[in-house]
Amino acid sequence: MGGMSMVVVAVVVLTALIFDFTNGFHDSANAMATSIATGALKPRVAVAISAVLNMVGAFLSVQVARTISAGLVNESRIAPAIIFGGLVGAVIWNLLTWLLGLPSSSSHALFGGLIGATWVSAGANAVHFTTVLDKIIVPALASPIIAGVIAGVATYSAYRITRRTDRTLQARGYRAGQIFSASLVSLAHGTNDAQKTMGVITLTLITAGILPAKSSPPIWVIASAGLAIALGTYTGGWRIIRTVGRRITDVETPQGFAAETSAATIVLASSYVGAPLSTTQVCSGAVMGAGVGKRGGVVHWRVVGRMVLAWVCTLPAAAVVGALAGRLAGTGTTGTVAVAALGIAVAGGIYWLSRRQPVTAANVNTVPAPAPATP
Amino acid sequence: MHIDWIAMGQVVIAGLVAGVGTVVVFSLGMAALGHRVVDVSHARKATAATTAAWSCFGACLALLAVGVYLIIGGR
C-alpha cells in the first residue's frame, strides 16, 4: 500500500466503527420493530435486549468476515484511502435512508461504497464482479422473496391452527413467543452484521501490511465491532422501526411471531451456508409476508414500493458517493482530511434535518398524519 | 455466473421445516392451551390439553436451542 501512515489506518478503522454504529441503529428495526409495534416489548427494553444480543453475536462467528475480506475486491490493489472512501459512501447512504425512515440494507451500502471506491481508484478489474453477483446480488434478490413466502405460510398456519382459540389468549401467547423470536433475530443479526465491519477493518490492516493476507480478525477488532453495533442498536433507529412496525402492515402478535421466527431461521441458515445476505431485506420481506398471510391483512404496497426503490438504489448510490470520496481521499492526507470534514458536515446536516420531526422511543408507535397521496 | 442453487435450496428447506415448523408447533400449543381454558371453565379434567400445550412449547424451546447451537457450535 506504500507510504500510508498509521494515522490514515487509524482514521479508516474509526470510520469503520462509525459505519458499524449506523449499521446498528439502522437495523434495530429488523429484530425489534414488530415486537415494539405489538407491545410485546417496551421500546427501550427491546433495543437494550437487541444491543446485548448483537454484542454476543459478534463474538460467536467470523465466517462472513472472512468471505468479505477475501473475495470481493482484489486486496493487493486497494489502499486504506479507498476503503475510507467506501465507508464514507456507506455511512452517508445509511444516514440518508434513516432520515427517510427506509429500512435499506447496510450490507449493500457497504459493498456499494467499497466497489465504487475500488473501481475509480484501482480500475474495474480490481473488482471481482462475478463474486459480487454470486455472493451478494443473487442472495439479496432471493432473500426477501424467500422470507416473504415462508413468513406468509407461517402466518397463515398460525391463524388457521388457532382460529378457535380465544383472541385474548392468542394475543398474549404469541406476545410471549415474540420475546424469544425477536431475541433470536438479534443474535443472528449480530453474527452477520458485526462481521462486516470486522471484515473491513481486517481488510484495512491487511492492505496496510499490519496483518498477513487472509488473516482472521484479531480479538480487539471483534470486541470493538461488537461494541459499536451494540451502541448503535441501543440508540435505536426509531424512524425505521416505525416504518417496519407500523407502516408496512398492521402487525398483530401472531404475525410478529411468524415474521420473526421465519426471519431468524433464514438469517441463521444463510449465515451457516456463508452467504453475506441482507438481514434487512429478509426481515422486511418477512413482515410483508406476514401481512399477506393473514386473511384480510392489508399491506401498504406504496410503502413497500418506496422500500424496494431504496433497495435498488442503495448499491449504486453508495458506489457513487464511495467513488467520489475514494478518489478525493486517494490524493493524499489533505484529500483524506477533506473527505472526513465533508462527511461530518453532511452527517451533521442530516441529523439537523431529523430534529425537525424527531421520532423517539416515546412516539415510535404513533403514525401521525395519514400518508400523503403523492410520493 | 455460478448461482449456488444448493445453498439457496438449503435456506428454503430450513425456512420451511424449521421456520414454519416452529410456528406450527407453537400454534398447536396455543390451540391446546385454548382447549385447556375451555376444559377448566367447564370443570373438566384438562390433563391432556395441558400436556399437549407444554409439550409443544417445550419442543419450541428445543428448536430455539438448536438455533443457538447452530450459531455457537456450527463451525
Average pLDDT over chain B reads 88
Amino acid in the structure at residue A288? M
B65 touches chain A (CB under 8 A): no
Question: What pLDDT, on the 0 to 100 scale, is given for residue B75?
Answer: 47
Measure in Å the smallest separation between the Cα of A226 and chain B Cα atoms: 16
CB A233 within 8 A of CB A194: no
Residue A88 CA neighbour count, 13 Å, CB half: 31
Cα A263–chain centre separation:
14
pLDDT in tens, A254-291: 999 999 999 999 988 887 776 666 889 999 999 999 99
Q: What share of chain A is helix, strand, coil (3-state, %, to 5)?
A: 80, 0, 20
ipTM of the complex: 0.92
Q: Which of A214, A302, A291, A211 is nearest to A256 (CA)?
A: A291
Q: Which residues of B touch A271 (CB under 8 A)?
A: 71
Average pLDDT over chain A reads 87
Q: Which residues of A touch B3 (CB under 8 A)?
A: 134, 138
Proportion of chain A above pLDDT 90, given as a percent: 53
Q: Which residues pair with A299 in a beta bridge?
A: A249
Q: Which of A142, A153, A157 sits opposite B27 (nearest CB)?
A: A157
pTM to 2 decimals?
0.89
pLDDT in tens, A178-223: 999 999 998 888 877 888 888 888 888 888 888 887 788 889 999 9
Q: Which of B15, B23, B60 sits opposite A266 (nearest CB)?
A: B15
Measure in Å the smallest separation between the Cα of A157 and chain B Cα atoms: 6
Those residues whose C-beta lies under 8 Å from the C-beta of residue A210, and which sit 6 or more positions away, are A9
A161–B27 CB contact, under 8 Å = yes
Amino acid in the structure at residue A307? M
B16 touches chain A (CB under 8 A): yes
Q: Which of A57, A134, A154 sits opposite B4 (nearest CB)?
A: A134
pLDDT in tens, A102-132: 999 888 898 899 889 999 988 888 888 888 8
Task: Identify the residue whose cell numbers are 470510520.
Answer: A15
Question: What pLDDT, on the 0 to 100 scale, is given for residue A364?
Answer: 86
CA closest to B16 among chain A residues: A150
B51 touches chain A (CB under 8 A): no
- Residues A249 and A359: their CA atoms lie apart, in Å, by 19
Angle formed at CA A155 by CA A239 and CA B10, multiple of 5 degrees? 95
CB B49 within 8 A of CB B32: yes
Those residues whose C-beta lies under 8 Å from the C-beta of residue A23, and which sit 6 or more positions away, are A94, A106, A110, A193, A196, A197, A229, A232
pLDDT in tens, A285-342: 999 999 999 988 889 999 999 999 999 899 899 999 999 999 998 888 888 889 999 9
CB A20 within 8 A of CB A197: yes
Question: What pLDDT, on the 0 to 100 scale, is given for residue A2?
Answer: 45
CB A216 within 8 A of CB A66: yes
pLDDT at B12 > cutoff 60: yes
pLDDT at A80 > cutoff 60: yes
Task: Identify the residue whose cell numbers are 384438562.
Answer: B46
Mean of the pLDDT values across residues A45-55? 93
